[in-house]
């Protein structure tokens, strides 16, 4: 393992925008080693005053929607405006396959070599909650390193979207124009989270289908209530291949930032996310501690099978497990 730097070395390196030291700091906060945790915590605490000044964007979409290509062109658009962008990933599946969606070296090659861009693969972790926590901390480190736009990428399936929604300012849903059942494969709740929908690959033969899909989505969104912040969710079209519509998406996000900062929603949302982070962390720690208790671990298989067989009441099983562990001051 690489030698750890001192707190000051990490601090100064990050504040100077040194990417190598930023990477090493992220590795430090991702570390599962108990001896790394105090330093990681101290570093985050000291960097806290330098955080918060980015636009945090969540991007999701089903596999095949062209997420990498989109993010690459989106990122180049940002850097061409002379702004710094960091791309992080939340990918709970990478824990299973050991093949992170961001681990693919051929992805975003051009962006990866852009001096204004920083790309970081998904952290390893035993639970989505753990991964989320590390990603939240990585956002703070990137902000302290001067990244003005931070993209958190997630695959468009499962629970990770909810987690990402809870850590970003703007949630962008990428969709494919298809024939017919437009929302196939996207969980309905994900549509609800979107601050904008962008239909990708709007080029060549796909152009007309994309326009039709746009109307379909607008219709579907129209059926739902307007979000509490008063923002009307736009449905946009874009082509990463032809670099069309990408700048407009960034402009839309910038407009959202401007409007919600003026209304105060931006700040309120961040504050609520921070409180949510605290409660998530507590809930997660309580459960992790409980379910990693050796007595609980030993009893669970029998209790689960008794419940599945209808032999005992769920509450009976729960009480037996809860009774195994006592809490004191």
Residues at the interface with a second copy (CB under 8 A): 41, 44-45, 48, 52, 133, 137, 140, 181-185, 187-189, 191-192, 216, 220, 222-225, 271, 274-275, 277-279, 281-283, 285-287, 289-290, 293, 295, 303-304, 307-308, 310, 312-319, 321-322, 324-329
CB neighbourhood size of 250 (10 A): 17
Minimum distance between the CB of residue 109 and a second copy, rounded to whole angstroms? 34
The residue among 247 and 307 lying less far from a second copy, judged by its C-beta, is 307
Which lies closer to a second copy via its Cβ, residue 65 or residue 71? 65
Q: Is the dihedral of CA 155, 27, 170, 241 positive or negative?
A: negative
Closer residue to a second copy, CB minimum distance, 126 or 285? 285
Closest separation in Å from C-beta 35 to a second copy: 17
Please check whether residue 29 is in contact with residue 44, taking contact to mean a CB–CB distance below 8 angstroms.
yes
Minimum CB separation from a second copy for residue 39, in Å? Answer: 14
Per the listing, tokens 């001896």 go with: 35
235 φ, ψ (degrees, to nearest 5):
-115, 115
* Number of other CB atoms surrounding residue 293 within 10 Å: 15
74 vs 217, beta carbon nearer a second copy: 217
* Shortest Cβ 207–a second copy spacing (Å): 21
Contact present, 114 and 18 (Cβ < 8 Å): no
Residue among 103 and 185 whose Cβ is closer to a second copy: 185
Q: How far is the CB of 255 from a second copy (least distance, A)?
A: 24
Three-state secondary-structure class, residue 262 = helix
Nearer to a second copy, 16 or 325 (CB): 325
C-alpha closest to that of 67 among 22, 111, 125: 111
Other CB atoms closer than 10 Å to residue 306's CB: what's the count?
16
Element (H, E) at 55: strand 55-61
Smallest separation (angstroms) from a second copy to the CB of 217: 9
* Cα–Cα separations (whole angstroms), residue 285 to 93, 240, 274, 277: 21, 41, 16, 12
């Amino acid at each position: 393992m690489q030698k750890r730097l001192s707190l000051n070395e990490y601090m100064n390196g990050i504040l100077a925008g040194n990417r190598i030291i930023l990477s090493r700091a992220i590795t430090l906060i991702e570390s599962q080693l108990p001896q790394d945790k105090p330093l990681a915590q101290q570093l985050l605490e000291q960097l806290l005053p330098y955080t918060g000044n980015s636009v945090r964007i969540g991007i999701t979409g089903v596999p095949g929607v062209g997420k990498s290509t989109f993010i690459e062109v989106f990122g180049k658009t940002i850097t061409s405006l002379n702004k710094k962008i960091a791309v992080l990933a939340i990918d709970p599946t990478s824990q299973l396959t050991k093949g992170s969606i961001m681990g693919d070296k051929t992805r975003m090659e051009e962006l990866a070599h852009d001096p204004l861009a920083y790309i970081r693969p998904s952290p390893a972790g035993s639970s989505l909650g753990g991964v989320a926590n590390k990603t939240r901390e990585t956002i703070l480190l990137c902000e302290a390193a001067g990244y003005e736009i931070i993209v958190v990428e997630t695959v468009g399936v499962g629970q990770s979207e909810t987690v990402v929604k809870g850590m970003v300012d703007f949630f962008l849903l990428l969709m494919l124009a298809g024939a017919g059942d437009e929302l196939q494969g996207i969980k309905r709740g994900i549509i609800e989270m979107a601050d904008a929908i962008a239909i990708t690959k709007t080029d060549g033969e796909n152009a007309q289908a994309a326009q039709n899909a746009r109307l379909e989505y607008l219709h579907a969104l129209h059926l739902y209530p307007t979000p509490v912040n008063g923002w009307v969710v736009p449905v946009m079209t874009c082509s990463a291949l032809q670099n069309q519509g990408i700048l407009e998406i960034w402009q839309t996000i910038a407009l959202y930032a401007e409007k919600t900062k003026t209304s105060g929603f931006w700040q309120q949302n961040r504050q609520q996310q921070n409180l949510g982070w605290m409660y998530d962390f507590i809930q997660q720690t309580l459960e992790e501690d409980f379910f990693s208790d050796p007595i609980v671990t030993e009893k669970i298989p029998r209790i689960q099978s008794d419940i599945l067989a209808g032999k005992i009441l769920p509450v009976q099983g729960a009480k037996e497990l809860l009774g195994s562990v006592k809490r004191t001051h």
